[in-house]
Amino acid sequence: MIQIGKWNRLSVVKEVPFGVYLDGREEGEILLPTKEVPQGLKAGDTVEVFLCFDSEDRLIATTVEPLAEVGRFAVLRVVSVEQVGAFLDWGLPKDLFLPYAEQSRNLRPGQEIIVYVYLDKSTRLSASMRLERNLEKTPGELQEGQEVDLLLFGRTDLGYKAIVDGKHLGVLYENEVFQKLDYAQALKGYIKKIRDDGKIDLSLRRPGHEAANEDIGPLILKKLRENGGFLEINDKASAETVHRLFGVSKKKFKIALGGLYKKRLITVNDDGIRLV
C-alpha cells in the first residue's frame, strides 16, 4: 500500500516524453515529471519518491525532499493567510494547507510556526498547530538519563513544553533553565525523570556523575552579565539556593567560583559576586 505524504519505493512502468509513470498500486499509475527523473532511470527500475499533489490535485511523485512529511512535526513558514486557512512553505511547488480550525492563534505571512502534518478525511495533505493531541503522552522506550532532541513549542506555569525526539511530550522546568529559550528552538536535552503517570521531566544538563565534570563557570558569567554584573550569592549560599540557580551542588559551585576568582574574572564579597 502506498503512503501519500511520505517516501515510497515504486517501480517504473513506462517512459513518456514528459517523464515516467510509476506503479502506484491501488492508486494506479503516478507521474514522475521529467525534471525529477534521475539520470538513467528506465522501465523496470525502482526509485524512491515522495508522493504529494500538484496544483490540480492530481497525485504526483517527486524526488525533491520536502521540509516535512505526514506524521511528523516541522517548523514551516507561513506564505499566506486566507479566510479558510493558511498556506505554508514546505519545500514543494504546492503549499501545505493549514485549515482555520487547526490554527491555535492568529497568523501573518512570514511567521515560522510548528505544525503536525497529517492526511485529512478526504486524503488532503494538511497541517495542524494543535500539537499536544498529536504527541504521545507516554515515554515509550525513552529512559532516564537519555540524550534527546527537543523542539520547544509552548509555556506552562512550570516552564517550557517540548516535543521530545519528534513524538513525545515533555516539560523543562523554568527554575532549572539558565538560558534564554524561544518558541520553535531546537536543542539537545536529557530525560531527567519519567513519572509514574508517564509524564516526562526534562533537563538541559547531563544528569548524574557526568554532569559533575561540566564547567559551570561560563554559566555563572552569563548570569552575572544578565544581572548587571552582580549576583547576590557567594560561597556561603545555601545548597538549595545554589541548586535553584545553577542546577549543581554547592561543592561544584564553589569550585567554579574559585576558578573564576583565580582568573580575576570576578570578585567575591560578603554581599555577593561581581564581574571585574
Q: Record the pTM.
A: 0.77
Give me the pLDDT at residue 215, please.
65
Burial, 159: exposed, middle or buried (Cβ in 10 Å; 0-12, 13-18, 19+)?
middle
Backbone angles phi, psi at 255, to 5 degrees: -60, -45
Show the cell assigned to 161.
513544553
- Cβ proximity of 159 and 173 under 8 Å: yes
What CA–CA distance (Å, rounded) separates 45 from 40? 10
Q: Which of 138, 131, 140 is nearest to 184 (CA)?
A: 131
Show the cell assigned to 35.
525534471
Q: What average pLDDT does range 81-87 have in this prediction?
A: 96
Q: What average pLDDT does range 226-252 have in this prediction?
A: 85
Give me the pLDDT at residue 113, please.
98
Question: CA-based angle 100:181:148, to the nearest 5?
Answer: 90
Q: What average pLDDT does range 92-120 have in this prediction?
A: 97
pLDDT at 133 over 90: yes
What CA–CA distance (Å, rounded) separates 18 from 35? 9
Taking residue 148's Cβ as centre, other Cβ atoms within 10 Å add up to: 19
Give me the pLDDT at residue 34, please.
95
Longest dimension (CA), the chain: 83
pLDDT mean across residues, the chain: 92
- Cβ proximity of 86 and 104 under 8 Å: no
- Cβ proximity of 220 and 209 under 8 Å: no
Domains of the chain with bracketed CATH: 7-62 (2.40.50.140), 73-132 (2.40.50.140), 147-207 (2.40.50.140), 215-275 (1.10.10.10)
Q: What average pLDDT does range 167-185 have in this prediction?
A: 89
Q: What average pLDDT does range 124-144 have in this prediction?
A: 94
Q: What average pLDDT does range 238-260 have in this prediction?
A: 83
Backbone angles phi, psi at 147, to 5 degrees: -80, 135
